[in-house]
Each structure stands twice: as structure tokens, then as C-alpha cells.
Amino acid sequence: MRTRIKCGWLVGHANGHHTLWRNAELVYEGNSVLFVGERFEGQVDREIDASGKFVAPGFIDTHVHSGHRASHRLISDIGRGDYFGQPFLEISVPREGTRVGGDVRYVRPDDNAATDELTLNARFTIAELLRNGITTFVEFGSQLRVQQALLEVVGELGIRAYLGPGFDSGRWVGGEGGKLVRVLNEASGDREFDLAIEFIERYQGEHADRVRGILVPREIETCTVALMTKAAEAAQERNLPVAIHAAYNIHEVYDIIREHQMTSIELLQKIGLMSDKLNVGHGNFTCDNPLVNYSDSHDLDIMGSHRCSISHCPVNVARRGRFLDNWESYRKAGVNVALGTDTYPRDMILQMRNASYFGKVASGNLKSATAAQVFEAATLGGAHSVGRDDIGRLAPGAKADIIIIGLTGNDTLRMGPVRDPIKSLIDCGIGDDVETVIVDGIVRMENGNIPGIDFAELRRQAQAAGERVWSRWQEWDPNGRTADEMSPYSFPKQN
């Protein structure tokens, strides 16, 4: 079936770059784009009227930790100084001998009571992504059962996904007095690696090829060199993309230097993981960062020469008092900057705005991190990170992953007069402006509605799940605090 979209504005693609069309047409047939231009002369079976609206390639979110992220709600404006702002140390490092409670991402493999919660986790994640115009996402290393639940909902709601259970050879725990300790469990890493390979072999190409596999050694400092070497070999053998947290955490940066006498980026290169299909999350503490005070760093050069990607999550990073230093030097070095939402909200337009503003400030240059560059990062950058040239763009032959964005600010004055829709979107847009989402040629959201998803019901379930997470905080908090002790309300709560 052929569908024509009549577009007020349209982002096309030619010679490796996005282009802009005014009052133009996009035609797709089956799951592929057939035509981008002023007027299509052939026959069509169906028409979508997006005149006055903005038609663009769907966004690619390269850093998703699934779930409703209730635990992250406790760490706005607070945190332990000795964690240097690293959020996962605050919300997922349990007191030794305990397990993070309430959050289904840490559920025991044999806990069958968690099935409903796993489904909620997956439905909330994918519905939120689609609502914000994200048509492809990369899950960053949740365990097998989380991936299985996501796989099912990917089938049901129709998004495109890179899935694969994460693996590591140990983890951080809270030792005596809350002291940060890294524990090693090589056997568990090997087991998880085998599960990851098995999962990917089984589900690669599932749901009409909307599911692809990705290898995720979770964090460079919690994986042994042997495990990461296995991952590098498997990635090469099977031509798989890889995602890993590295150069992202002050503890990791200095631990790796001390343990390996090289930087995290140098270690990734030595192991054979550094490539154009490597997604480094978040890569903001390379040793080129002046805050690290490392002499003669070549990290950005190494990353650039391999054309590897960073999944830059500007909102989450900024909430922790940090930023990418800096956008311009990464781009100049040839690093592919892709964007991710990481925590909440999963609003790629908000991410682009923050990437742009922080990029300008950190680069000391108003011409840095332009609207065009951050839009590229959210589309072409994401596609490059997983080695694809058929998504993140609208050109004949590319996948029909298309979003339609309203330019009226949901009938308010927020957008003001629109001259350049990319600049208007970055400066004034929000995720809710996305009205229609098409993935693989199928309409998956229309006028803000996702068939099979009741937002009110999902909100209610997520709120209840959040209350459970918060109420169980003391069970595992390394400092034995309740949620209210750890995270006081903004103003004294009176009842």
C-alpha cells in the first residue's frame, strides 16, 4: 500500500545530510520511503494530511534504561558528595548482603510474582518513547527478564529496538558505613554473557526485523578484561553493535587508570571494543576533560579515529551538576555524538534543547551545537551508532519511520511565529508536540493516541509502583536511610 503525506514542512535527506522542504510530499510504500519532493505524480492508496505540520524522521534514543524510573525521582537536588554526581551509585548500589527492593529491574530470576511488574515496566517505557516520537531505542543492559518483557511489548506496540541482556563480572555494593566497594563475580559474568548471546541469536530479526541485538558489557569498571575481550570478539564475528558505560564516572575513571595504567578509552581500544559500532555511555569524562587533570590525553583522538559514538544524555547529566566538555571538541575530533534520554522524561526534544544550550555554553561559542547539529545527533547520530544507514533519515529506500509534529504548541502561543521548523522545535518544542508516529510503515500513534495504551491507567500503575520503590528504600540503602531521610521534600511537608 502506498501512502502520501502532504507536509507543511518536511525533513528530507540527500548526500549524507538532512534537507528541508516546504509544502512538499512524502510517499511511502510498505515499510520504505518511496518519494520525497514537491509533488508525487503516481497513484496512492491513502493520504495523510499534515499541511501546516512538520514531518521528520523518527528520533533514535541511544541510551534507555527501561522502567518508570521512580528511584531517580529521589535524587533531584540531592546526593552523596563522594559519588561525584554519578546517579546509578545513588539509586542502585545496595548495602552489602541486600538487594535493591521494589524496582523490578533487580528482580531475582526465579521471582514469578514479578511478571506483571515487568510488563508494566516494558509498557511504560515503550509507550513513553513512542509518545515522544522515538521510533528506535537502544536498551542499555537490563537483565534478561526485562529484555523478554520489552521484546513482547515491542511486538505489540510496534517500535524498533536494540535489545540484549547486559552482562558484567561484578558490581558496586555499599560496604561498612556506606563505603563504596566493587565486588567481583566472574562466573556470573560468563553466565550472563552466554545468556546474552543466546537471546540475540534467538531474537535477532524478530517482529519483522524491528528487533536487533546489541551486546552490552554494562560498565567498563565492573567487567573483567577477559569478559570484554569475549564481547569484542563476539561483536566482530556477528557484526553486532556494542554499548558500554565508560568515561562516565569519576570513580571509574581513576580506578581504571590505577588498575590498568591507561584511560578507559585506551583500554576499550586495547581490548578491541573501540569501533564505529561502539556506543560509549556517556563518554563525558574522557581524559581530555580538563576536570580530570590528566596530561597528554588522546582519548578524543582515539574515539574520533574509530568514529565511535557517545550516547550523550544532557538532561540527566546536567541534573547531576555535570556537562559535556565540550560539544565542539568532540565533533572536531570526529566522535559521533548521539543522544539518549537515560532517565526521565523521555523527551528527545528537551534533550536536543539541552544539548544545544549546554553545547554552546561549554564550547564558549554560540555557533556550536546548532539546532541542525543536535537534530542530526537525535537522528543520523543514533543511526550511525548502530551501524544503520536506513533509519534516522527520510530518503527513498530508507525505512518509513516517520513522525508528524504539530507547530501550534498544542494550540497555545508557545511556538510563536515559525520560520525555521528545526530551530522552532529545538527552542520551543516539547515531546507532546509529536502527534503521529509511523514505524516501519505502520501508524503506531495517531493524534497522540497509542492503540492499546491507556495513559491514565499506566500513570496510576506507575504511581503505585513508585510508592513501592520509595517505601522500601531503607531495606537496602547503604546508609540505612528512608526515602524521606535521603530525599527531603522541596519544602517542609506539613501533613
Binding interface with Zn ion (CB under 5 A): 140, 281
Distance in Å, CB of 63 to Zn ion, minimum? 6
Q: Which is nearer to Zn ion, 218 or 444 (CB)?
A: 218
Cell of 317: 547529566
Distance in Å, CB of 386 to Zn ion, minimum? 16
The number of residues making up the chain comes to: 495
* Torsion, Cα of 140, 142, 146, 148 (10° steps): 70
Q: Which residues contact 2 (CB under 8 A, 6 or more apart)?
A: 27, 28, 29, 34, 42, 43, 44, 45, 46
Closest CA to 213 of 269, 147, 271: 147
Cell of 490: 522541596
Q: Which is nearer to Zn ion, 317 or 462 (CB)?
A: 317
Distance in Å, CB of 200 to Zn ion, minimum? 20
C-alpha pair distances (Å), 92 with each of 127, 187, 285, 364, 456: 24, 21, 21, 35, 28
Q: Which residues contact 134 (CB under 8 A, 6 or more apart)?
A: 58, 59, 60, 61, 159, 341, 346, 348
Distance in Å, CB of 65 to Zn ion, minimum? 5
Q: What count of Cα atoms within 13 Å lies in the side-chain half-sphere of residue 406?
A: 18
Q: What DSSP state is assigned to residue 484?
A: H
Distance in Å, CB of 141 to Zn ion, minimum? 8
Closest CA to 86 of 268, 245, 194: 245
Q: Which is nearer to Zn ion, 91 or 104 (CB)?
A: 91
Q: Which is nearer to Zn ion, 165 or 281 (CB)?
A: 281
Q: What count of Cα atoms within 13 Å lies in the side-chain half-sphere of residue 493?
A: 7
Distance in Å, CB of 245 to Zn ion, minimum? 6
Instruction: Give CA–CA dist 53/202, Å, rounded.
Output: 40
Q: What DSSP state is assigned to residue 94?
A: P
Q: Which is nearer to Zn ion, 160 or 312 (CB)?
A: 312
C-alpha pair distances (Å), 28 with each of 263, 380, 437: 47, 19, 14
Helix 264-271 and helix 299-306: axis angle, to 10°?
A: 40
**Contact predicate 345/128, CB 8 Å:** yes
Q: Which is nearer to Zn ion, 3 or 385 (CB)?
A: 385
Distance in Å, CB of 423 to Zn ion, minimum? 29
Q: Which is nearer to Zn ion, 21 or 140 (CB)?
A: 140
Q: Which is nearer to Zn ion, 309 or 424 (CB)?
A: 309
Distance in Å, CB of 177 to Zn ion, minimum? 27
Distance in Å, CB of 16 to Zn ion, minimum? 29
Q: Which is nearer to Zn ion, 61 or 433 (CB)?
A: 61
